């Protein structure tokens, strides 16, 4: 039973391989998220819905005042301000701080400068458009981050260093002999509207198909597996690619590594077959003694011997089966399942030995049961005398 208990404790010795693999999965998700951060911009746009109707009307009026026709569905790419991406050098720690931090969001309001109309007219006239042929094609706000669908975001961290933006108008001269498209830009002073603050980045992770792998659904903890590693302080100062390489190297080195058992270093491959072998050896030792003892004349007169297998109550019998058959089989099965790989020979050898262990354990339980029956018959015999107990010195 002590051998099985030792294997049981060893089987539940923590194996960091599972934690390393979970951390590698998080790093893979982080790399995918960082490569497609535009989805966060779309989330901000769609969920916070900046109101820019007044600015859009102001911009269209400028184009109309410059003599251009304004179609009803001209694409106008205005912007809003927000913390769009992590600051720093793209380290794991930078992403963590961004996702757990608070972000700001605010609409951009243009100052209605009357001089903008005249500036735009002057810029348009330089291109000599034909009268009546000028048509507005699009408007965008330069000086901002542009997403692939045209959404524009002003980086919140740079808002104070950019005092003005540039309204870029694209016109089409439809009457010109050579169809021309030209652009004209005018600077515009802006201010930020009412700001909203919140955990927008972590809220986005919860709904993003890939980002969900970076946050615990229950506790809301970001990078739960990465931060659970004892290496967190070290890998947090690496880029996601460097951290992945570092953890993978640690994981590879563990394939032939040792495990600590009560302070003793044990080779993992050795433990996978040696643990079942030790249990099998002890069990065979017990079984041989049982069979020899059962063959002795008067072996049933052991009712007073202090071994739990000979106690007449059912609980003692159940504990005997538990220690001889169940505990060794379960302990070694857990050992092989948690620390083994059935593609490796030590695990396969341990599995074969564990099957023999279960078979011999069952045999030992059968022998013990037969002996217990003999003991029960002897104890219930009405004509035995007290001298029978002298066999074990227990008068």
Written as tens digits, the pLDDT of the chain (395 aa) is 555 555 544 544 556 677 888 999 999 999 999 888 889 988 888 887 777 777 888 888 999 888 889 988 888 877 888 888 887 778 999 999 999 999 998 888 888 888 888 999 998 888 878 777 889 988 888 888 888 877 888 888 777 777 788 889 999 887 776 668 889 999 988 888 888 899 999 999 999 999 999 999 889 999 999 999 888 999 999 999 999 999 988 877 665 555 554 445 566 666 777 778 888 888 888 888 878 777 776 655 655 566 777 677 788 778 878 888 888 888 777 777 776 677 777 778 888 888 888 888 888 888 888 877 777 776 666 445 554 444 433 43
Predicted local distance difference test score (pLDDT) of residue 239:
93
Whole-Å CA distances, 179 to 130, 170, 176: 11, 13, 6
For residue 67, the SS3 value is: coil
Which residue intervals of 90-239 are DSSP H helices?
Answer: 92-100, 115-125, 200-207, 224-228, 232-235
Residue with tokens 């017990």: 286
pTM of the predicted structure, to 2 decimals = 0.59
Predicted local distance difference test score (pLDDT) of residue 262:
47
Provide Rg for the chain, Cα atoms. 39
Predicted local distance difference test score (pLDDT) of residue 282:
84
Nearest CA to 68 out of 144, 145, 131 is that of 131
Residue 127: both structure tokens together: 């291109």
Whole-Å CA distances, 271 to 16, 173, 257: 17, 82, 12
Predicted local distance difference test score (pLDDT) of residue 179:
60
Residue 26: both structure tokens together: 């998080």
Residues 154, 195 contacting (CB under 8 angstroms): no
DSSP secondary structure string, 13-56? S--HHHHHHHHHHHHHHHHHHHHTTHHHHHHHHHHH----HHHH
Predicted local distance difference test score (pLDDT) of residue 390:
40
CA–CA dist 281, 291 (Å, integer): 15
Residues 186, 166 contacting (CB under 8 angstroms): yes
Predicted local distance difference test score (pLDDT) of residue 8:
47
Residues forming beta bridges with residue 222, ordered by sequence position: 215
Residues forming beta bridges with residue 145, ordered by sequence position: 153
Predicted local distance difference test score (pLDDT) of residue 13:
53
């Amino acid at each position: 039973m002590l051998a099985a208990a030792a294997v049981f404790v060893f089987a539940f010795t923590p194996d960091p391989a599972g934690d390393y693999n979970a951390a590698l999965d998080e790093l893979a998700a982080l790399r995918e998220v960082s490569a497609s951060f535009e989805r966060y911009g779309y989330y901000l746009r769609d969920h916070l819905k900046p109101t820019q109707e007044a600015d859009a009307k102001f911009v269209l009026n400028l184009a109309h005042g410059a003599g251009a026709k304004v179609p009803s569905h001209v694409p106008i790419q205005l912007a809003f301000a927000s913390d769009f991406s992590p600051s720093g050098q793209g380290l794991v720690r930078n992403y963590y701080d961004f996702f757990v931090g608070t972000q700001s969001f605010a609409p951009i309001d243009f100052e209605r400068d009357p001089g903008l109309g005249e500036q735009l007219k002057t810029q348009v006239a330089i291109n000599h458009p034909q009268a009546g042929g000028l048509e507005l094609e699009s408007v965008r706000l330069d000086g901002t981050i542009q997403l692939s669908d045209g959404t524009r975001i002003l980086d919140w961290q740079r808002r104070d260093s950019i005092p003005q933006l540039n309204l870029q108008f694209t016109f089409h001269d439809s009457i010109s002999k050579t169809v021309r498209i030209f652009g004209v830009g005018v600077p515009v002073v802006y201010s930020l509207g009412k700001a909203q603050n919140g955990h927008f980045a972590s809220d986005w992770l919860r709904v993003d198909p890939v980002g969900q792998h970076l946050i615990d659904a229950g506790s809301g903890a970001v990078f739960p597996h990465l931060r659970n590693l004892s290496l967190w302080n070290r890998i947090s100062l690496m880029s996601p690619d460097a951290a992945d390489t570092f953890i993978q190297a640690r994981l590879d080195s563990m394939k032939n590594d040792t495990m600590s058992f009560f302070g003793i270093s044990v080779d993992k491959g050795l433990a996978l077959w040696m643990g079942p072998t030790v249990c099998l050896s002890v069990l065979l030792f017990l079984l041989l003694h049982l069979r020899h003892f059962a063959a002795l004349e008067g072996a049933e007169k052991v009712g007073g011997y202090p071994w739990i297998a000979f106690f007449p109550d059912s609980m003692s019998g159940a504990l005997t089966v538990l220690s001889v058959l169940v505990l060794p089989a379960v302990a070694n099965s857990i050992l092989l399942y948690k620390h083994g790989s059935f593609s490796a020979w030590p695990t396969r050898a341990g599995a074969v030995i564990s099957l023999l262990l279960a078979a011999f354990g069952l045999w030992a339980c059968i022998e013990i049961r037969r002996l217990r029956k003999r003991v029960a018959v002897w104890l219930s015999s009405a004509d035995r005398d007290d001298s029978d107990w002298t066999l074990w010195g227990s008068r």
